Amino acid sequence: MSIIPMTPDNSGPIRAGSPAPLVLANPTVCTSLLGVKVGRAEADTTTVALAAIRDIINGALRREEETGELRGMMRRRAPALRATLQLPEDAPEDALIEFITRYIRSVPGCLRLVRAVSRHQGFFAYAAPFLHMAEDYFLRPPREVPDDEGLGALLDEAFLAHRLLEEVNDHHVRHLQRPLLPVDMTEANIIVHHLLGDAFATRLEELVQFTARQLLDREHLWAQARTAPGTTPLALVSSARIINGPAQQVRLKLAS
């Protein structure tokens, strides 16, 4: 989670996954919360990439359990973070690690949901480039990103993936008056922006916006999306429900 130079080509070797997954949260949280059914064919087409991402995540969680590296950093930063975030009085680092874990683990479920919804609505060919880019943030991170496989590094990559999907959603609303993904990740993404630090998070935001412009500023894509079969939009699910769970221990502090 250090400040590092980023490049828009998203190049680099495929990161090896870690064996023996450690299940710490529901990996299909997006689909289960939204009640979207994903058929066997959909599951088969996403197995390889999403399994590799989950292995990477599980390896980072295992490393964090052994080292406590990110937990220690969050403990030290908690007093300063209270200026912008609502945190529990006792052991705020525990709440922050739980939030970060759920945020990172929600990525495969959200990608799976976008894939299923886009196939169901007939515009998977349009959505596929965004899905591949979001997957590549985990599987082929930029060379400049330290490949230390720690939870802090994965928070960077999860932020890139979630922000890319948020950017696509915003464009969908502007052009089509409906979101691609019925999940509002705004609050969670702003929280992570604070966790990463403004300077580094802003650089990641610029990378996402550059990537999104390359993919979205093409009129033929919107023409294709407009011809997709219409469906009744699902109600947006707040990121507070997906990431924080019922306790909602980490929230943005409202400006007074």
Examine residue 18 and state whether it is found in any structural domain, yes or no. Answer: no
> Considering only CA atoms, which of 25, 9, 4, 11 is closest in space to residue 196?
4
Q: In the prediction, which pLDDT does 191 show?
A: 95
158 SS3 class: helix
Is residue 2 included in any domain, yes or no?
no
What whole-number distance in Å separates Cα of residue 256 and Cα of residue 246? 25
> Helix, strand or coil for residue 183?
strand
Averaged pLDDT for residues 113-128: 80
The structure's pTM equals 0.78
**d(C-alpha 112, C-alpha 114), whole Å:** 6
Confidence of residue 221 (pLDDT cuts 50, 70, 90): low
Which of 42-51, 149-158, 209-218 has the highest average model confidence (pLDDT)? 149-158
- Could you tell me the residue range of the domain that residue 144 belongs to? 29-252
Q: How many residues does the chain have?
A: 256
Mean pLDDT for 202-230 is 72
Place of tokens 């943005």: 252
Nearest to residue 190, comparing CAs of 253, 112, 101, 98?
253
For position 142, what pLDDT does the model report?
65
Q: What are φ and ψ of residue 184, in 5° steps?
A: -100, 105
Q: 97: pLDDT confidence band, cut at 50, 70 and 90?
A: very high
Q: What is the DSSP letter of 247?
A: T
103 within 8 A of 158, measured Cβ to Cβ: yes
Tell me, yes or no, whether 169 lies in a domain. Answer: yes
Confidence grade of residue 237 (pLDDT, cut at 50, 70, 90):
low
User: Is 10 within the bounds of a domain?
Assistant: no
pLDDT of amino acid 87:
94
Q: Is residue 8 part of a domain?
A: no
Examine residue 13 and state whether it is found in any structural domain, yes or no: no
| Cα 21 to Cα 56: distance, rounded to the nearest angstrom | 9
**Structure tokens of 97?**
């690690």
Residue 187 has, within 13 A of its CA and on its CB side, a CA count of: 20
What is residue 238's predicted lDDT score, i.e. its pLDDT?
58
- 19 assigned to some structural domain: no
pLDDT tens, 15-39?
444 332 322 233 344 544 444 454 5
b/e 133-166 (16+ beta carbons within 10 angstroms → b): bbbbbbbbbbeebeeebbbbbbbbbbbbbbbbbb
Nearest Cα neighbor of 128 from 92, 160, 86, 168 is: 168
The pLDDT tens digits of the residues spanning 170-183 come to 877 777 777 777 77
**Residue with the larger pLDDT of the pair 247 and 72:** 72
What percentage of the chain has pLDDT greater than the value 70? 66
Q: What is the DSSP letter of 144?
A: T
Q: Name the residue with tokens 């060919």.
A: 125
Q: How many domains does the chain have?
A: 1
Stretch 179-195: mean pLDDT: 87
Buried b / exposed e over 203-221, threshold 16 CB at 10 Å, is ebbebbeebbeebbeeeeb
Lowest mean pLDDT among 48-57, 103-112, 119-128: 119-128
Mean pLDDT of the chain: 75
Q: Is the pLDDT of residue 254 over 50?
A: yes
Mean pLDDT for 63-80 is: 95
Is residue 22 situated within a structural domain?
no
